[in-house]
Structure 1
């Protein structure tokens, strides 16, 4: 099963009010294990970075000015993603921006059914508790000390760890396969005890036998051994 843990950074909150994507980061998982393949791209938003966005991302106009436009990287991004499940924290936000950018490029959009929202999973699993990425890192003892600024690739790597914890931990090798379990069950049910080749020697002494017989004789009618 192929999954892509994904994060975007943007200039603001609304693509149809002029905000654009400035960074995409993604980590590939196969059967809930990182493959080592990643996708990372800075993007020229063709607009000035608002002060608030600069403070959050640390990406300034000078840094982004020579980066490619989204239309220049859109096809490579879709080739990387393909039809894999997209694991995103607050998926509706990132999908809104990705599909707006893809639409402006006249490229196929990503269906919401392809996205898996870890924010919704966390809120369902821990109702009433903080469900931000930082809060989940604290809950699962995941080191996010390098997260001084929001960065798409770093956040997607951290989210991959959080997602694997939400999915039940990262120890698939400790789970027995059904064939192994069935084999153990069958081995147990087929086992039968066998008689000893030679009986054990009695451990009672003659004195102990005599004392036991005397004790039984004294019981009289209360003798249950008859």
Structure 2
């Protein structure tokens, strides 16, 4: 996968690669591995999670318990960011938001993206969705890789992630098998639109041997 990303970075102009898959499949891990392997001169990250709607908005809508569902993101804002990155002017720096998992909130303008970086990697659940502004986001992407991982491994990783960010184990498991599972079902139904399906082995993280 690293060599494939390197080939994308060698294309003329700007290339945008999307990584998608169900929650816990390893999207952010692979994105970070590609960025580390190729370096900041070749790769910049612009994650979809920066477009989470704020908790106050979700609670006002009665959607506080469904954070991570497709309607809990600013899809139009995300599509607009990708369009800017696609048409980025030579003298322009684009600033993308970053999602802080410890604070469970988005931090605006946290990720500066230079116009000289040839490959932008974005990752998130709904890159292949066909409703709302998601098709506009997909239109800005050159390729979308769908990460496929055994559901049992994914769910175990989700529980581990939630505990690491402050949930008690029982609540973490409830979340992984409840809202996260519902989101996973929705994401799995979209895999047909991917450029490539990347099947990951259960023992290795994306970017490690065995993936």
Q: State the TM-score, normalizing by the size of structure 2.
A: 0.32
Q: Which has the higher contact order (CA 8 A, sep 6+)?
A: 2
Q: State the TM-score, normalizing by the size of structure 1.
A: 0.31
Larger radius of gyration: 1
